[in-house]
Amino acid sequence: MTETDFWVALFPLNTILFPDGVLPLRVFETRYVDMVRDCMKSGAPFGVIGIKSGQETGAAAEPFTVGTLASITEWDMPEFGVLLIQTRGGQRFRIEETRLLPNQLLEARVTLMNADEPVDGGTALPVCAKVLRVVMDDLLERSRAERGAEFINPFAEPFRLDDAAWVANRWCEMLPIELEEKQRLLEMTDAAARLQCVQDYLEENGVL
């Protein structure tokens, strides 16, 4: 295997993690508690990947083929057997093959996908970035007021509002669209095209 071809533990979820996204998780199944502990000990990431078929709990679900590496940034154990972790999305990966461990933990041999290169977002970037800034400010203000000391920033800094991929990814996390559609956006290799899809959605729904 090469440096971009390696095995990683998978955490199939009914959510899609995008690069630089913030994802809090409540982990209680033994297989995933053990996985998180191993990752914390080794400093290794795990793979967050959307569920194509199956459930988050119980028997191993069938995942999509593209996911995102997740690094643990904070953790807490409020009660025995339950871990609360904060994760941040890293690079996207593509599954080459999977194997199921005896404890029903799914592992995959993955190949890293190229990171989104800086691109000219065209006319979509300033429009989508401006509205995103307003939405983020509103969410942050309301969340701080409602949660106080328990506030968790859902947006990892620094905010890169001049980056088409970053702006597109933050919108993709928030858009009220089906999991399959978010997965399609995650798999797109052209950040400018992903941002254009976001602009089209915002225009169609009267946000722009």
Please tell me the class of the 5-112 domain: mainly beta
Residues 105 and 36: beta-carbon distance below 8 Å: no
**Whether pTM exceeds 0.85:** yes
Average pLDDT over residues 174-186: 96
User: What is the pLDDT at residue 3?
Assistant: 58
Instruction: Quickly count: other Cβ atoms within 10 Å of residue 75's Cβ.
Output: 16
d(CA 97, CA 39): 21
User: Is the model's pLDDT at 2 over the cut of 60?
Assistant: no
As given in the structure block, the two tokens for residue 76 are 């807490």
Give residue for tokens 């088409």.
Answer: 164
Q: Could you report the per-residue pLDDT of 37-85, keeping only the tens digit for each?
A: 999 999 999 999 999 999 998 888 999 999 999 999 999 998 888 999 9
User: Is the model's pLDDT at 119 over the cut of 50?
Assistant: yes
User: What is the pLDDT at residue 122?
Assistant: 86
User: What is the pLDDT at residue 1?
Assistant: 46
β-pairing, 46-53 vs 5-13, is parallel
Render 92-107 in DSSP notation, one character per residue. EEEEEEEEE-TTS-EE
How would CATH label the architecture of 124-204?
Orthogonal Bundle (1.10)
Nearest residue to 88 via CA among 74, 72, 102: 72
Boundaries of every domain in the chain: 5-112, 124-204
